[in-house]
Amino acid sequence: MSDETRSPGRFVTLEGGEGAGKSSQIPHVAETLRARGHEVVVTREPGGTALGEAVRGVLMNEYDVPMPAMSELLLMFAARAAHLEQVIEPALARGTWVVCDRFTDASYAYQGAARQLGDDAVATLEQLVQNDRRPDHVLLFDLPVTDGLARAGRRGEGNRFDRETVAFHERVRAAYRTRAAADPARYHVIDAAQPPATVRARIEAAIAAWPA
């Protein structure tokens, strides 16, 4: 397909709290999109680049003194700037669909809401780093907090986000749900408490409804 006739790439993100199962569903999302004829790049945040993966290690580690919330937010966007420049924007420009495990919705949920920095701080950095780039489609995996934390606990030793309080994770979930309710055309909420086969069917139904 020539550059003149190639369809534009689309940006798809998977979001959700700890233990919601979004990461385990990434391969199915990519496979479903490829079956529809799309070239797909799979990536994650924080991560996706050498810088992003290094920042991920910093963000996930425990420290003797807690990391300031603003430091956490700035690190997220430092990694995101590289991710956009080196991976996401080039892929979209060549007509590839990008499937990303978390993006800026996570910053609104975790740093804006749960860390209580507020939406304005996140929105300022979002505009500075992303300009007008926003996900075309968001799959939000929703699960009661206690269920998600129990699942996360079964994975073994978690990271410092897993070990936050239930109240912290309740703020994360509430922020995600609020954002989805405000833009139902772009967000598809999936009940992650359902059996895996049902979750996969819900994913397929959501993707089938997207414009080709």
| Listed residue (10, 15, 13, 12) closest to 140, CA to CA | 15
Q: What's the rounded Cα separation, in Å, for the pair 175 and 147?
A: 18
Q: Are 154 and 104 in contact (CB under 8 A)?
A: no
161-199: buried (b, 16+ CB within 10 Å) or exposed (e) per residue? bbebeeebbbbbbebbeebbeeeeeebbbbebeeeeeeb
Strand order in the sheet with 187-191: 40-44, 97-101, 11-16, 137-142, 187-191
Question: Strands 40-44 and 11-16: what pairing?
Answer: unpaired
Amino acid at residue number 23: S
Q: Is 22 annotated as a binding residue?
A: yes
Q: Are 31 and 88 in contact (CB under 8 A)?
A: no
Per the rule left: phi > 0, alpha: psi between -120 and 50, beta: everything else, 48 is left
Q: Is 17 annotated as a binding residue?
A: yes
| Listed residue (193, 98, 199) closest to 148, CA to CA | 193
Q: Is 23 annotated as a binding residue?
A: yes
Q: Is 15 annotated as a binding residue?
A: no
Q: Is 16 annotated as a binding residue?
A: yes
Q: Is 71 annotated as a binding residue?
A: no
**Residues within the annotated binding site for ATP?**
16-23
Residues that constitute the known binding site: 16-23
